[in-house]
């Protein structure tokens, strides 16, 4: 009986030791880090710095971007090379009339689980075009992975309601 109690106590002690040695995740700290990555990625896009943007993404064949921007199609870009090409093509559309481009991310809903996060947020853009102030709003959904201590974007979807009366279409294409 004493041996059984001794082994039981030893076993419980080992379990307590193992579970107490597991690092605790500071959820609020991780949420703040996720927000910084999303804001910095957008700042790099505004600066048209593809090298900097690339540092915020998981660069594998599973990286995916779903983008609805006031067009008749709903394209899906699958694989980092296609996502990167999409981002680069957006940077080539440089309208010199667009000035004071700003972005505000707001209304965050973030879930952190181990080394994964999912995020939903409002994405509000403002800019000037021929001295007119323009505002566009979108909804962004992002899935992220923590790799080597840094949060990286593994999937992003963006639905934009621009300044025009555009309505999303039912067409979905895979690119």
Question: What's residue 10's pLDDT?
Answer: 61
Q: Give me 78's structure tokens.
A: 């699958």
Q: What is the average pLDDT across 11-20?
A: 59
Which pLDDT tens digit goes with each residue over 40-76? 999 999 999 999 999 999 999 999 999 876 666 778 9
Domains of the chain, earliest start first: 25-174 (3.10.450.50)
Rounded CA gap, 77 and 65, in Å? 5
Question: What's residue 37's pLDDT?
Answer: 98
- Burial of residue 156, with CB atoms counted within 10 A of its CB: 0-12 exposed, 13-18 middle, 19 or more buried: buried
Backbone angles phi, psi at 81, to 5 degrees: -60, -40
Question: What's residue 152's pLDDT?
Answer: 98
Q: Give me 118's structure tokens.
A: 């999912």
**pLDDT over 70 (residue 170):** no
Beta bridge partners of 126: 102, 135
The torsion angle over the Cα atoms of residues 85, 35, 105 and 43, rounded to 10 degrees, is -50
**pLDDT over 90 (residue 78):** yes
- pTM beyond 0.85, yes or no: no
Which pLDDT tens digit goes with each residue over 97-141? 788 999 999 999 999 999 999 999 999 988 888 888 888 888 999
Residue whose tokens read 């779903």: 66
């Amino acid at each position: 009986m004493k041996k059984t109690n001794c082994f039981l106590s030893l076993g419980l002690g080992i379990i307590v030791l193992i579970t107490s040695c597991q690092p605790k995740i500071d959820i609020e700290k991780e949420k703040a880090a996720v927000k910084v990555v999303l804001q910095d990625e957008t700042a790099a896009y505004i600066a048209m710095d593809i090298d900097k943007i690339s540092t915020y993404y998981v660069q594998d064949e599973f990286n995916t971007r779903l983008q609805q921007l006031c067009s008749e199609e709903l394209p899906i870009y699958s694989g980092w090379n296609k996502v990167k090409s999409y981002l680069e093509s957006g940077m080539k559309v440089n309208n010199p009339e667009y000035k004071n481009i700003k972005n505000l991310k707001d209304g965050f809903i973030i879930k952190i689980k181990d080394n994964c996060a999912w995020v939903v947020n409002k994405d509000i853009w403002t800019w000037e075009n021929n001295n007119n102030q323009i505002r566009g709003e979108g909804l962004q959904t992002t899935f992220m992975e923590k790799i080597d201590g840094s949060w990286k974007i593994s999937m992003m979807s963006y639905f934009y309601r621009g300044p025009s009366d555009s309505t999303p279409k039912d067409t979905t294409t895979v690119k």
